[in-house]
Amino acid sequence: MCGIVGYVGKQQAAPILLDGLAKLEYRGYDSAGIAVYNEKENKIDIVKAKGRLQALRDLTGDGQSVQGNIGIGHTRWATHGEPSVVNSHPHFNKDKSISIVHNGIIENYQPLKEKMQSRGLEFISQTDTEVVVHMLEHYYSGDPISAIIKVMHRVKGSYALGIMFKEHPGELYAVRKDSPLIVGTSAEGNFIASDVPAILKHTRDVYFIDNLEIAKITENSIEFFNEDREPIEKEMTTVKWDIEAAEKGGYEHFMLKEIYEQPKVVADTITPRIDNGKIVLNELNMSDEEIKGINRIYIIGCGSAYHVGLSAKYMIEETVRIPVDVDLASEFRYRNPIMDSNSLAIIISQSGETADSLAALREIKSRGIKVLGIVNVVGSSIAREADNVLYTWAGPEIAVATTKAYSTQLVACYMLGIHFAKVRGQIDDTQYDEMVNELNALPNKIQRILGDKERIQWFASKYSAAKDVFFIGRGQDYATSMEGSLKLKEISYIHSEAYAAGELKHGSISLIEDGTLSVALATQPALYEKMISNIVEVRSRGSYVFALTTEGNYNMEDTSDFTVYVPKTLPCFSTSLAVIPLQLFGYYVALAKGCDVDKPRNLAKSVTVE
């Protein structure tokens, strides 16, 4: 989710680059940099700074000290390597004749890097991006497009690249695969950018680069090519969004934008860790013997991260056959827990700065127990203090209510469970392959669910005046219900509670009365008939039932009042699909009530105080 800006034209480039980067700050970043071709000295000048964009402005005098009419700029959201000046973009090749900026993840960067290192090439950063610039140098023989195409054929993953070659001083190159990139045009010059807001001040006329397309841009021309170097004719689009809408990619709120980003970020978290059909978790730094020696797993988190832990508990205990304890960090740190010395603790946090979770981590480490962090922010406190870290590559999450970070945390736990189960001999090769294949299928299945948003929106608007909503489920569905309930209450301010459906008769069913909305989850085949009984139970007391089940369970419509279906998956992965309609339901209820969806009252994105 890094931000890219590039410019070639009549004006000084640096101030335009800095202004464009400022318009992309909403994407989140930890460092920034610009590269500008200095015609007088025939060199590419690069200035980079860790932290906020203001630090880069201070270093360059708001861009006035960096002279040149062509350049590229970047705000970095760290994925490979901690936030630092060295790891920030733009990156150089060895003789500083090529400079690039990159948004995305190069999945096979490690073997490519090792191959280049075997030839004596030294790397100065920890990034996957530096591999690309050295590959460009290796394949460059005077023709930039030829070199770019050769690199495209050898790298795997997602990328949007802005590239400058010193030997081609008036030319800017761009290429993309699965990461957004646009080209803008105006009388004052031409632009590249990750997103429309970066260039709206200068132009509303843009071209959208499609996958595996290359753009060659000069002050007065724009050319497009496919990967076979065939010219492409593209239609220009005139953008009619205002600035705020543009930052949200045309979505009304960041939360909705982030809900729709889930297929991509779930894939980003899964795909780089699967090689030839096998899960590879080098970040664990655990031998098979160490994994086999684990007696118990502790999962600690707050809010939605805690709910991820509950879903992971069901999956890991069933698949790995290791007992799993799940704790709220705020309770764990004060209850003086009894811990098995041969155990693994997992701390889950989007920001990596959650105060209670960080305190729990320190308590666990003081007992000599190994800690794995599952976090989204590279270089955060939990990432630094954990023994090892499994990063979720969700990119920056702006809305306070988590959606895509939650989903990436889930799949990180799934991968961990599958890997542990295989190492410990709890699943055979056939089961392993089935689980990996189904894991890879989750992004497309999430995308299918998003296509049903109109029905969910209609239902949400109908029940936006509800005073109380009850979420019920069994097993994995109970854990999912807790997240669905939290989403609804935190952004719509409607009182909602999640109950284990089998517990209804032990008191909570007394709260059900005519018109009460119950959201019933039934995605677990072994528990489906029991959930039908629970639905009949609440409906007979006057409740209106919104049922969520898997495709094929069409008899649910005889029992419920409104039914949403999700694609079939392995029962242990059900939360990844079932949570999507619940996120949409919460969002559309809040929207219908006129609530501030992205910034609900009294809540903060990163809870850094106790």
Q: Which residues are catalytic?
A: 2, 605
When computed from its CA atoms, the radius of gyration of the chain, rounded to whole angstroms, is 25
For residue 165, give both structure tokens: 């070659």
Residue with tokens 């480490």: 365
Task: Report the amino acid identity of residue 112.
Answer: L
Length of the chain: 610
**Burial class, 150, CB count within 10 angstroms (exposed 0-12 / middle 13-18 / buried 19+):** middle
Q: How many angstroms separate the CA atoms of 472 and 499, rounded? A: 5
Collect all residues with Cβ–Cβ distance below 8 Å to 105 and sequence separation of at least 6.
79, 80, 128, 157, 158, 159, 268, 272, 393
Two tokens, residue 610: 């106790």
Rounded Cα distance between 565 and 308, Å, is 22
Is residue 130 within 8 Å of residue 123, measured between CB atoms?
A: yes
Which neighbouring-strand residues pair with 372?
346, 388
Contacts of 305 (CB under 8 A, 6+ apart): 348, 349, 350, 354, 357, 406, 409
DSSP H helices, 23-65, are 53-60
Give the CA dihedral 36, 39, 40, 42, nearest 10 degrees: 90
**Residue type at position 374:** I
- For 352-484, strand residue ranges (E) read 370-375, 388-391, 468-473
Cα gap 422→187, rounded to integer Å = 60
Q: How far is CA 231 from CA 139, 159, 222, in A?
A: 21, 21, 11
Confirm if 330 and 320 have CB atoms less than 8 A apart.
Answer: no
Question: If residue 173 lies in a helix (H) or strand (E), which one and from where to where?
Answer: strand 172-177
CA 358 to chain centre: 22
Please give the DSSP secondary-structure letter assigned to residue 99. Answer: E
Burial letters for 21-43: b for 16+ Cβ neighbours within 10 Å, e otherwise?
bbbbbbbbbbbbbbbbbbeeeee
